[in-house]
Chains A and B, each alone.
Chain A
């Protein structure tokens, strides 16, 4: 009997784990679709807009942006509450086939949650360069004063304190004046030969700088003479590139459970996929291995020097890789054999905790939640249908309509699993749209004076409009609930978007 209870408990917790994984899988995909349907390219949210297609099924194609953003916020909070309730151990491996399929695939959302830093390299490098440069030049030095006028330093937020040591290494070995190294000290009793032969630090410093100088092109010299800060900026970029080359393919960590490098890695990924903080963490992780030899390695080694840095890193234990699971290994092997590893594959080897952490910190999720928050703040969340406007999808938006249909299927899946928020919002929206337009059956049955056909209805509905407006009105037939046809009168002009809600999705 006890064995049976234990079996049931294990089964239930496994089932619960699969449930929550499925729920996360649905939520992730829906968030991605919301972003693609309800945000302009510049991140403006389609506040108070309900969209639908003028032909086909209203329920399949309708989308109430406010309501779905709020429904997904509700879903997100429910998932968070569940995960924090302790009902499901967070170290569970990824088992839900839907989630595995999602993470094994190459959909944009997976590319993004697995590789949030992709595309952000330039902006991030500016930030890294800025921080590194600030670490290189000592406060109070004339160069520091010149730097404060340089536009690059507006992008600096002072993170990356580990750059202090790296910055000092660069300054000491390359930039600082060598004059201080010529110091014989009070060797009054020494012979001249010994004394001068002992200027080791001076010889070392001039060698390092001499090697660097052998590589200087004329245009670099011109730049150095005309704009020493620009020159240092250029060199700093090259230093960072060299470091990142060295760790680029290393299996680094973008998110730690605790102290970086001393705790469990929640989000393993390669350098190029890490977001800016992740990149800084990785560089900081190896900054301790970059010391006085960095400058000479940089100028003498190129790729070989970078390899030297990464060889040292391999010998260390700073990067902890999350566990793999048999299923994930099989999938990764298949994809590797096919010549393609999904970036999400790195997440497959993780846990429920690490997957949710990746989803939760993705730009898509943070952005869609931000829109929901702004809906609350601006009062738009309290809008009933009275304030909402119905819009058609623009011409050529077949892809978007396809996404919306996919969204609806996800809402059904969620509904069947017992998570109803998105489905309820969807049903209300399509019913509202349909109710704005008359039934075709009523029209053909003669319930409207002077009207027998949809064209008649258009004429009657628009005859009081000024010609300048009327010429843009059209009529179409769409399908409402229970397959009843509805006659849609619509304006072909683009509606003016009046929305104050905006999200920045850029990496």
Chain B
């Protein structure tokens, strides 16, 4: 378990509220590259850095459960395969869909040009809307996966 946490940090974006733990040496940026909230891990240039994205969607919440995991994973995988092929990349790994801590979870690893990435994607309902959280890591930062997952786990709806 990571010991980097400060207490739950409230975040507001366009009147949408939530909270998430942001470690001391991470940065929070709004609307960077069109993503509502991005958390960026420590940077030791020219090394890449860890990225956690939080997107409040306008999709109304619908009940999710364990029974949805398999279908979710399969549909997700289909989409990711297609995208990697369009980018002329190489698919490395697809994780099956899961239902964990109230979230639908899936993951993928792929290689584009000379760089490899791993992703974890999470969908969670709050009272008013569905939230999408996503981890994007260059393989060079894969040791930060555990911390990134902890951050995502700390996400809490405001309502």
Establish whether residues B115 and A300, one from each chain, have CB atoms under 8 Å apart when the complex forms: yes
Q: Is the CB of B87 within 8 A of A293?
A: yes
Q: A194-B75, A217-B43, A305-B113 are in contact. Are A203 and B121 (CB under 8 A)?
A: yes
The complex places the Cα of A177 from the Cα of B30 at a distance, in Å, of 11
The distance from the CB of A294 to the nearest CB of chain B, in whole angstroms, is: 11
Contact B74 A197 (CB under 8 A): yes
Q: Does B141 make an interface contact (CB < 8 A)? A: yes
Contacts of A192 in B (CB 8 A): 62-64, 68, 72, 104
Decide if B94 is an interface residue (CB 8 Å cutoff): no
Min CB–CB distance A301 → chain B (angstroms):
4
What residues of chain B lie closer than 8 Å to A205, measured between beta carbons? 34
**A300–B76 CB distance below 8 A:** no
The answer to whether A214 and B29 touch across the interface, beta carbons within 8 angstroms, is: no
Say if the beta carbon of A395 comes within 8 Å of chain B.
Answer: no
| A184, A192, A212, A225, most chain B CB atoms within 10 A | A192
User: Cβ of B33 and Cβ of A197 under 8 Å apart?
Assistant: no
A309 to chain B, nearest CB (A): 12
Interface contact A210-B119, CB-CB below 8 Å:
yes
Q: Indicate whether A415 reaches chain B with its CB closer than 8 angstroms.
A: no
Q: How far in angstroms is the closest Cβ of chain B from A193?
A: 3
Task: Tell me whether A204 and B132 are in contact (CB under 8 A).
Answer: no
Q: What's the least CB distance linking A223 to chain B, in Å?
A: 11
Query: How far does the alpha carbon of A200 sit from the alpha carbon of B45 in the complex, in Å?
Result: 32
* Complex contacts, B29 vs chain A, CB 8 Å: 221, 224-225
Chain B residue contacts of A204, Cβ below 8 A: 79, 83
Tell me the chain B residues, 23-47 only, with Cβ under 8 Å from chain A.
27, 29, 31-36, 38, 40, 43, 45
Instruction: Contact check, B76 vs A197: say whether CB atoms are below 8 A apart.
Output: yes
> Cβ of B114: which chain A residues have Cβ within 8 Å of it?
300-302, 304
Contact of A182 among B57, B76, B97 (CB under 8 A): B57
Evaluate contact between B40 and A216: CB separation under 8 angstroms: yes
Q: Which of B48, B69, B75, B78 contacts A214 (CB 8 A)?
A: B48
What residues of chain B lie closer than 8 Å to A217, measured between beta carbons?
43, 45
A-B contact count (CB 8 A): 167
Q: Is the CB of B34 within 8 A of A175?
A: yes
In the complex, residue of chain B having the shortest beta-carbon distance to the beta carbon of A305: B113
Contacts of A297 in B (CB 8 A): 87, 112-113
Q: What is the minimal beta-carbon distance from B111 to any residue of chain A, in angstroms?
A: 9
Q: Is the interface of A mostly helix, strand, loop or mixed?
A: helix
User: What's the Cα separation between A196 and B55 when bound, in Å?
Assistant: 14
A178-B55 in contact (CB<8A): yes
- Per-residue A-contact encoding for B52-72, CB less than 8 Å = 1, 0 else: 010101110011100111111
Find out whether the CB atom of B76 lies under 8 angstroms from the CB atom of A203.
yes
Min CB gap B107→A, angstroms: 11
In the bound complex, what is the Cα–Cα distance between A221 and B30 (angstroms)?
10
Taking the complex as formed, is B22 at the interface, i.e. its CB lies under 8 A from any CB of chain A?
Answer: no
Docked complex Cα distance between A209 and B132 (Å): 14
CB neighbours of B15 from chain A (8 A): none
Q: From the candidates B64, B70, B83, name the one contacting A207 in the complex (CB within 8 A).
A: B83
B68 touches A200 (CB 8 A): no
Number of interface residues of B (CB under 8 A): 60
Smallest CB-CB separation from B119: which chain A residue?
A207
Q: Are A177 and B121 in contact (CB under 8 A)?
A: no
A203-B80, A207-B83, A207-B119 given; A213·B58 CB < 8 A: no
Q: A213 vs B134: C-alpha distance in the bound complex, in angstroms?
A: 12
- Give the nearest-CB partner of B137 in chain A: A214
Judged by a CB distance under 8 angstroms, whether A211 is at the interface is yes
Bits for A452-478, please: 1 = Cβ < 8 Å to B, else 0: 000000000000000000000000000
A81 within 8 A of B: no
Residues 178-205 (chain A) with a chain B CB within 8 angstroms: 178-179, 182-184, 191-200, 202-205
Interfacial chain B residues near A178, Cβ < 8 Å: 34-36, 55
Cα A191 to Cα B74 with chains together (Å): 13
Query: Are A196 and B87 within 8 A (Cβ)?
Result: no
Task: Determine if B155 is an interface residue (Cβ-Cβ < 8 Å).
Answer: no
With A203-B79, A203-B121, A214-B141 already in contact, the answer to whether A196 and B88 are too (CB < 8 A) is no
Report the minimum CB–CB distance from B105 to chain A (whole Å): 11
CA distance A199 to B35 in the complex (A): 16
Contacts of A504 in B (CB 8 A): none
Residues of A within 8 A of B73 (CB): 193, 197
Q: Provide the residues of chain B in CB contact with A431, threshold 8 Å.
A: none
Query: Which of A202, A211, A224 contacts B136 (CB under 8 A)?
Result: A211
**Distance A302 CA – B113 CA, assembled complex (angstroms):** 9
Of all chain A residues, which has the CB nearest B38?
Answer: A213
Q: Are the CB atoms of B115 and A193 closer together than 8 Å?
A: no
The closest CB in chain A to the CB of B65 belongs to A192
Chain B residue contacts of A293, Cβ below 8 A:
86-88
A212 to B48, CA, bound (A): 10
Q: Which of A200, A211, A213, A300 has the most CB of B within 10 A?
A: A213
B residues 108-132 near A (Cβ < 8 Å) are 112-115, 117, 119, 121, 123, 130, 132
B residues near A176, Cβ cutoff 8 Å? 34
Alpha-carbon distance A144/B53, docked complex (angstroms):
26
Chain B, 84-108, CB within 8 A of any chain A CB: 86-88, 97, 104, 106
Binding site for A on B (CB under 8 A): 27, 29, 31-36, 38, 40, 43, 45, 48-51, 53, 55, 57-59, 62-64, 67-76, 78-80, 82-83, 86-88, 97, 104, 106, 112-115, 117, 119, 121, 123, 130, 132, 134, 136-138, 141
6 nearest interchain CB pairs?
A197-B75, A210-B136, A193-B71, A193-B68, A200-B79, A182-B57
* Besides A192-B104, A214-B138, A300-B112, 16 other A-B contacts (C-beta < 8 A): A179-B57, A182-B55, A184-B59, A192-B68, A192-B72, A193-B69, A194-B75, A197-B71, A197-B72, A210-B51, A213-B32, A214-B137, A217-B43, A225-B29, A293-B87, A300-B114
